[in-house]
Structure formats: structure tokens, C-alpha cells
Amino acid sequence: MIRRYVRGEASFEERKLVTEWAASDPQHFKELEQERRMFLALTLHLPAAVEAAADTRTSRTRNFTPRGRVIPWRRVVRIALQTAAVIAVGVVVGLSLYSRKMETLSEQMLSIQTPAGQRMNTTLADGTQVWLNSSARVEYPILFGRNERRVKVSGEVMFDVTKDPDRPFVVETYACDIEVLGTKFNVVADEENGRFSTALLRGQVRITSRVDGQQILMNPDDVVSLENGKLRLSHIDDHDEYLWPEGYISLKNKNFNDLVEEFGRVFGARIEVEGSIEGADRRYQWGKIRISDGIDDALEILQASYRFTYTRNVETNEIVIR
């Protein structure tokens, strides 16, 4: 089933099963990636195999003449032309099949989604690095086409894109398309809550609204967000905000409610706040939390700044703050 999945031949139910299996355990995800890379390696080396086969045929033809026998030059020419024709047909057929296979692979989509409370990192066929935050989803072809490299994203994802001037890299979200050549940037595309933003860490990207066609050209340290249906350009205030692939939550410029909402997303928890919390609007001036220390440690850090107690159901990961 995994091999059918990476070849793009799996049914919808099989694709769903493989995706759930890969997301359930980091080791499963690694096994899926290994199978995908092996398939790509075999596919991408097909032209070399065709060429090697052609070389073998030429070699056999060259050694066919018994030692000491003289063949008239017209026959030599005829044999050479026939051999060349056979090789040419073989190479053309091989490359045609290869080209058709590449087109098929570029139309076959794979998808990966991280479970709530987990993060993943993967490498696309062109070498682009992708980090997925909790509950994020990326859909991408087995192999990119000749004209562009297009992926679809929901949730929070960071890309470090391999440069390829002939094939722009396009990230498609519910709100905007993001076009790049080679760069590193962070995307938040939360359609359910109407959140969209792009932060550029390196390189240059162009944002195009899918609503009204509005375009913004971004430079390093720019942030574009969607506000009231319009794109707004601003500047990155805190680079620690984009350390989540390294396992950190930034506290800077966030208040109690901001952090409780973020904790729910990052740790895959359902958090309910009963009543009002004194000083909930106060914002942190600095600081960050290590995600691997867990949600209890994160809430204890908040308790040093805000007065509250909480109970947690470990089985359901539901938290009530009072």
C-alpha cells in the first residue's frame, strides 16, 4: 500500500490510511520518506539506464565482426546505420516513456498532516525543506513539473526553498498565493479562524491575494497579514516568533489570552478559561518556552505572571483554568 501511495496509484481510502499511519509515529513518517526517495531515485535514473543500454548495444555491435574478417565499407555503413536506428528508436521510446512518467508523477499528489501537539520536517523532491507545526497540512506532487513547483498549505508551515530560476516555487493557501525562487519564509493559513500571514526571513517573495488580486513584493524581515480582507505590510518585531521549528514558543508582546490560545494549538489541548484572570491584558516584554518541556511546564511559567489555577484531564488533554 505504501508503494502504491508513493507511485500515486493508491485509492482515496488507501491514501487516507497511509497518511494517518505516517502521522501517528515519527518512525512511520521516516519509513514513508525513505520509500518515496527510493522511488524517486529509481525514476530519475531511468534516462541513464536507457543510455547505458544504448552503449551496451553499440558495444555488442562493434565486437560482432570475427577477427581477421574484412567487411566491405558499404556493408559497414549499412550495419552502422541500422544499429544507429535501433539505438535511436530505443532512446526515443525510453525518453518518451520517461517524459510521460514525469508528467504523471507531477499530477499525482501526496499530502502529510501533523497530529495536534506534534511537529514534522520533510524534504520535497527538489530539496526544499519543509517544517510543519501542530495540525498543519501540506499537499505536494510526487515530482514537480517543468514550469513551476506548486504546493498547497493549511496551518503554520515554514519553507526553506531550493533555488531554481526556471521553476518558481508557489505556495497556495486559502487567502493568497506566495511565489518565490529561493528563500526562507513562514506561512500561517488558518481558514477556519480567518488568519493569514507570511513572514520573510531570507530572499524575496511576491504575495498575491486570491480575493482581489492585490500584490505585495516582500523583502527580508517583512510580514504580510490579512486584515479586513486586505493585505497589510509590516516589519518583524521578534525573530523568536519563528523559532517553533527549533522547539520554542516566544512570549514577547503576548498576553495571557494570546498564549492560552497558542498553547492549545501547539500542545493539541482543549483549554477552557472560567471567569476572568487578573491582569490578563499584560504583555510579556521578553522570554520563550521550550515546547519539549510540556504544557504543564508552560502553564507554570504563566502562573508566575498571572494568578490562576488549573486542572488537567491527562487522558483527554482537556484543561480548565480558573
pLDDT band for position 311 (cuts 50, 70, 90):
very high
Lowest mean pLDDT, pick from 72-76, 168-172, 317-321:
72-76
List of long-range contacts for 283-289, beta carbons under 8 Å, 24+ apart: 283/253, 283/254, 283/255, 284/251, 284/252, 284/253, 284/254, 284/255, 285/252, 286/251, 286/252, 287/250, 287/251, 287/252, 288/240, 288/243, 288/248, 288/249, 288/250, 288/251, 288/252, 289/248, 289/249, 289/251
More confident residue, 248 or 11: 248
Residue 194 has pLDDT above 80, yes or no: yes
Residue 225 has pLDDT above 80, yes or no: yes
Q: How does pLDDT run across 69-126, given as a tens digit for each residue?
A: 555 555 655 555 555 555 545 544 444 444 454 455 556 788 888 888 888 898 888 8
> Which CATH architecture describes the domain 244-321?
3-Layer(bab) Sandwich (3.55)
Q: Locate 164 and state its grid cell.
A: 531554481
Over range 225-252, report the average pLDDT.
91
Domain spans of the chain, in order of start = 45-106, 119-235, 244-321
Q: Which CATH number is associated with domain 119-235?
A: 2.60.120.1440
For CA atoms 127, 128, 129, 130, give the dihedral sign: negative
Model pLDDT, residue 190: 93
Model pLDDT, residue 7: 72
Over range 219-231, report the average pLDDT.
93
Model pLDDT, residue 51: 46
Q: How does pLDDT run across 72-87, given as a tens digit for each residue?
A: 555 655 555 555 555 5
Model pLDDT, residue 77: 52
Over range 50-75, report the average pLDDT.
49
Model pLDDT, residue 100: 53
Highest mean pLDDT among 117-121, 145-149, 269-273: 269-273
Whole-angstrom Cα distance, residue 306 to residue 250?
17
Model pLDDT, residue 150: 94
Share of the chain above pLDDT 70, in %: 77
More confident residue, 49 or 206: 206
Average pLDDT over the chain, rounded to whole? Answer: 81
The pTM score is 0.69
